[in-house]
Amino acid sequence: MAKTKACRNCHFVVLNNVSQCPACKMHDLSEDFSGLIIILDPENSEIAQKLNVSRAGQYALKVR
């Protein structure tokens, strides 16, 4: 499995070689995160609405 990082701002999960979050354009990424949720259809997902997610992708539940 490839190494990943999560954005401390929006919790979007990216590959380790990325230096900027593609979702919110922040540079504050962390390798220390837990929990992973995959959102496929954010418009019709109740979980995506609860997490305030508007883009499909992988998200960390907790980022340190």
pLDDT in tens, 3-60: 999 999 999 999 999 999 999 999 999 999 999 999 999 999 999 999 899 999 999 9
Instruction: CATH number of the domain at 57, please.
Output: 2.20.28.90
Note down the domain range covering 44. Answer: 4-63
Contacts of 10 (CB under 8 A, 6+ apart): 21, 23, 24, 26, 53, 59
Q: pLDDT value at position 1?
A: 61
Dist CA 17 CA 4 (whole Å): 8
How distant is the alpha carbon of residue 37 from its chain centre?
8
Query: For the whole prediction, is pTM greater than 0.85?
Result: yes
How many independent structural domains does the chain possess? 1
Contact of 14 with 4, CB cutoff 8 Å: yes
Residue 11 phi/psi, 5-degree rounding, is 70, 10
